[in-house]
Amino acid sequence: MLRLPPFQLEEPKSLYAALVLLAEAKGQAMIIAGGTDLLPNLKHRLFEPKLLVSLARIEGFVGIELQEDGALVIGPMTPLAQVAASELVQERAPALAQAASLVAGPQLRTQGTLGGNVMLDTRCQWYNQTYFWRQSLGYCLKKDGTECHVVKGGQKCVAAASNDTAAPLMTLQASLCFERLNEKRELPIRDLWSSDGIWNKRCDQDELLTSIRIPAQEAGHRGAYGKLRTRESIDFPLLGIAARMTLADDGTVSDAELCGVALAARPSLVRGVSEALTGTRPGTDEFTSGLESAAQLAYKQLRPVDNVPGSAWYRREMVPVLAKRTLQAAARGDGPVHPL
């Protein structure tokens, strides 16, 4: 078995205590939620923190709450399995419930959390490997090295955002609450991401994600998530697409949106999807041709690179297929689209 490096573990019982620990550590600490991604990464020597601050014992970090304005507020330590099984989430944010249901496998969804998935480190075939393997390679831009093996001569890390839940949270216009000692801010998830694969988030590593808020969606909200992966379980996405659609009272599309993940460092919204579909009625030829247009928009805009395992060519070819099938599923009110 791979060995964990030595580190100190703190398990504060209150948010305040956690914030104090993080402040005192001055950037030398890491936050551990479910640990399903962090622990393998520690074993691979991708991180070498002196201190891990566990969120497991902090009160009030688990739960899904419906607010008076119809918003859902989800605690960061809520297990993915709970998000997937929640009737509230299934009803009000179906794409999120579906994405959560497809993260890894059942055991990991029980241990892994929504907050952890949002804050997941980016992934790359040249990075998520053991120390021995990376040493034999000569390392890479993201960790210990100077060269990118995905883009020859590349100066920017293109490791992929591989969090399934990021895509639906983008389409749902979720906002995130981050806290630091004596500091609290609300950040729309659409403003979270940067294109730097080394750290793809516009927040500091010692900021703590304390809640995820999904605003009330319009009446007629539909959503679905589609996931491409090698096997029907376990695997990270080779491509993930979330679809959001609003159906007006007359049954026609009044708004639609697509967001792709596992492409590059940030999840990407597809431009022009609403225009392609608005006014069409599911089941008609117009809707079908709107789907084709939306799929082509996705094909043009979402360009996977050879960062995660598997062929970038195939992932790209699957973009329009997954986009279309996920929009169809949203229109029908079903999903997830998995396997394709």
Partner 1 sequence: MSARDQHGLAAPHGEFQIIGKPQRKIDGATKARGSALYTDDLCLPGMLHAKTLRSPHAHARILSIDTSAAQALPGVHGVITGQDMPTPYGVIPWTPDETALAVDKVRFIGDEVAAVAAVDEDTALCALDLIHVEYELLHSYQSPQDALERNEPAIHKNKRGDNVSKRVQLDFGEVDKAFETSPVVIEGDYSFHGSTHAAIEPHCALAQVDGNGLLTLWSATQITHYVHRALASVLDLAPHRIRVIQPAIGGAFGGKSDPFSLEFCVAKLAQITGRPVKMLWNREEVFYAHRGRHPMDMHYRTAADESGRIQSVDAKILIDGGSYSSFGLVTTYYSGQLLTGPYDFPTYRFDSTRVFTNKPPCGPKRGHGSVQPRFAFEVQLDELAVQLGMDPIELRRRNSIGPQTMTVNGQRITSCGFDECLEKVERASDWKSRRGKLEQGRGLGVAGSMYISGTNYAVYPNDMPQAGIQLKVDRSGVVTVFSGANDIGQGSNSMVAYVVAEELGLTLDMLRVVAADTDLCPVDLGAYSSRVTFMVGNAAIDASRKLRKLVVSSLAEHWEIEERRVRLVGGEALDLEDPTRHMTMAEAFQIAEVKHDTLGATGSYNTPTLGGDYRGGSIGASPAYSFSAHVVEVAVDEETGHLDVREVWCAHDCGKALNPTLVAGQIEGSVYMGIAEAIYENHQTNRFGLHAGPSLLDYSMATTLDTPEIKALIVESLDPEGPYGAKEAGEGPLHSAIPALSNAIFDAVGIRLRHLPFTPEVVLRALREKREAERQTASPGNNP
Residue closer to partner 1 (CB basis): 61 or 236? 236
Residue closer to partner 1 (CB basis): 212 or 319? 319
**Using CB under 8 A, which of 110, 111, 125, 288 touches partner 1?**
125
Specify the stretch interacting with partner 1 by CB under 8 A; choose among 130-138, 186-194, 262-270, 296-304: 130-138
Question: Rounded to whole angstroms, how far apart are CA atoms 113 and 56?
Answer: 10
230 binds partner 1 (CB under 8 A): yes
Question: Rounded to whole angstroms, how far apart are CA atoms 163 and 2?
Answer: 24
235 binds partner 1 (CB under 8 A): yes
The enclosing H or E element of 187 equals strand 183-188
**Using CB under 8 A, which of 18, 321, 323, 329 touches partner 1?**
321
Structure tokens at 87: 């009737």
Specify the stretch interacting with partner 1 by CB under 8 A; choose among 80-88, 195-203, 233-241, 287-295: 233-241
**Using CB under 8 A, which of 67, 136, 195, 284 touches partner 1?**
136
Q: What are residue 29's DSSP bridge partners?
A: 51
152 binds partner 1 (CB under 8 A): no
119 binds partner 1 (CB under 8 A): no
Q: What are residue 104's DSSP bridge partners?
A: none
339 binds partner 1 (CB under 8 A): yes
Q: What are residue 301's DSSP bridge partners?
A: none
> How would you class 216 by CB atoms within 10 Å of its CB: exposed for 0-12, middle for 13-18, buried for 19 or more?
middle
| CA distances (Å), origin 228, targets 231, 265, 324 | 9, 17, 13
Identify whether the C-beta of residue 209 lies closer than 8 Å to the C-beta of residue 178.
yes
Residue closer to partner 1 (CB basis): 276 or 308? 308
Residues 6+ positions from 285 with CB-CB distance below 8 Å? none
9 binds partner 1 (CB under 8 A): no
**Using CB under 8 A, which of 314, 332, 333, 334 touches partner 1?**
314
Strands, sheet with 51-54, edge to edge from the N-terminal-most edge strand: 8-10, 51-54, 29-32
Count of residues that interact with partner 1, criterion CB under 8 A? 30
Residue closer to partner 1 (CB basis): 64 or 228? 228
Interacting residues with partner 1 (CB under 8 A): 1-3, 105, 125, 128-130, 132-133, 135-137, 230-236, 309-311, 313-314, 317-318, 321, 339-340
